[in-house]
A and B are shown apart, each in its own frame.
Chain A
Amino acid sequence: MREELITSGRMNPLVDPQLHIWSWEIPFYLFLGGLAAGILFFAGYYVIMGKEKEYPAAIEKTPLIVPFLLLLGLGSLFLDLNHKLFFWRLYTSIRLQSPMSWGAWVLMVITPVSFIWAAIHIKKTFPKLKWPYAWMDELEKFFTSYKKVIAWIMVIYSLILGIYTGILFSAFNARPLWNTSILGPLFLTSGLSTGAALNIITAKSEYERHKFTRIDLMLIGIELFLIIHIFMGFLASTQVQIDAARLFLGGPYTAPFWILVVFFGMILPGLLEILELRNIKIPVLIPATLVLVGGLLFRFIWTFAGESSRWLY
């Protein structure tokens, strides 16, 4: 038997007895980042493919909320900071080894791009809207003529943003649960899936809705595959990673993860989507909402479980 105790009584707030430096702000920020990445990816992708007619919701409608998502995400990142007055320091240095740093810079690029995208498409959804100044019309014309370029920027940066939401965690080898390179692709897939789910809700035509239902189904499949992969990797790894996996295999996170995230957030909506594709009437709101809520819970559970996985004591 081996017992390790801190006998001088270390009780540093937010660190002891168990790390809790990140509460709701960071997982919420990661969820919003992934969702925004998913929406922008599909919008950019279908413009590049020249399919604007087929996918009006994905290109014109859903991206209208992205600026809000990103601002909300940045806001919640800001709330997480303990030394808020020094927030601007994030933008006085670029540190490539720090995911926090390049994530902040990616957001700096993609947020204005999302505003531009929303601005050049907003009149399609709100036809009565008029810009107050003439130069704004000029600007809209200017950006519209470069739509394909903007679409390319969106596709590239949304993939970086989506993968960043996972790499932020996987770069920490101090937390064995986070320290897996599969987390980048997994969070990216989950982000794309939540984006597709939102497109399912906003799509008007059955063609577009079914397209995104099929895409979402495929993404859910990839997610499940990656999740199995992650646990296989953990169980074949070092003791600390085996312990990390056990948090989900009998440990305190078993029920929340497998029931809420995997079953209600992936398998059930997946089954409902299959039924929908077979033309059985399912209100699309149900599977899409399940995917969105599942994605949100996934980030929360992975954040908190990761903080409780450790090397010492």
Chain B
Amino acid sequence: MRYAMAIDTKKCVGCSDCVVACQTENNVPIGYCRDWIVEVVDGTYPQLELEIRSERCNHCDNSPCVRCCPTGASHVEEGGFVLVTHNKCIGCGACIASCPYDARYPHPDGYVDKCTFCMHRVTKGQLPACVATCPTKCMYFGDLDDPNSPVSLVLKNRKHKTLIPEAGTKPQLYYLI
């Protein structure tokens, strides 16, 4: 099992509903966020190109954050969820410095926090809160090992990319382009 997410940059309008849905679902403390919207403008007027991306932890296959954690608090769960065990985390910040996507942050309670791919929902058969909320239905989630999962199907048919693959982390968030 290998869960992954695909996000359609052509459909995303940057409304930030996923950001708010995550904050609500996961009780993210005020002033913090586990996902965010990036707008990229490329070119010179009038030849401009716009890409909108909803970003979060990439649940990397080769995750530096898990490798550098001195206590094993950062770990990979069955299915590829990269998670932090709160009462094992000493808050040293190594994993925060090790993530090239800056996807982690220090929770005010001391431990490190980040996107969980809503594992608590996914194991119950639900979609992550951001995916379930998206009004343009531009996010796909599922098991890459299942050829008929929504994410496998859309990746088969669409051109896609990952963010900074050259960082060597093997990110599992795919952007349809």
Binding site for B on A (CB under 8 A): 1-16, 19, 21-22, 80-87, 89-90, 92-93, 95, 97-101, 104, 171-175, 238, 307, 310-313
Contacts and interface: CB of A to CB of B under 8 A. Distances in A.
Nearest to A16: B102
Given A15-B104, A89-B90, A174 B97 contact: yes
B68 A83 contact: no
A76 to B, nearest CB: 12
Given A21-B96, A82-B106, A312-B163, A13 B70 contact: no
Nearest to A239: B166
Given A7-B37, A10-B36, A90-B70, A82 B93 contact: yes
A12 B32 contact: yes
Contacts of B32: 12-13
Interface string B124-168: 000000000000000000000000000000000000000110111
Nearest to B168: A173
A311 B100 contact: yes
B16 A8 contact: yes
Contacts of A92: 71
A227 B28 CA distance: 43
Nearest to A169: B97
Contacts of A80: 92-93
21 contacts: A1-B44, A2-B40, A4-B38, A5-B38, A11-B31, A13-B105, A15-B102, A15-B105, A15-B106, A81-B90, A81-B92, A82-B93, A84-B90, A87-B90, A90-B70, A95-B72, A100-B70, A172-B64, A173-B167, A312-B100, A313-B38
Contacts of A13: 31-32, 105-106
B97 to A, nearest CB: 5
Contacts of A87: 90
Contact of A98 (B94, B99, B104): B94
A311 B37 contact: no
Contacts of A2: 40-42
B97 A175 contact: yes
A98 B67 contact: yes
A1 B46 CA distance: 12
Given A1-B44, A19-B96, A93 B110 contact: no
Interface string B10-54: 000010100100000000000111001111111110000000000
Given A14-B105, A83-B111, A93 B70 contact: yes
B69 A98 contact: yes
Contacts of B92: 80-82, 100
Instruction: Among A100, A104, A174, find the residue whose CB has the most chain B CB atoms closer than 10 A.
Output: A174
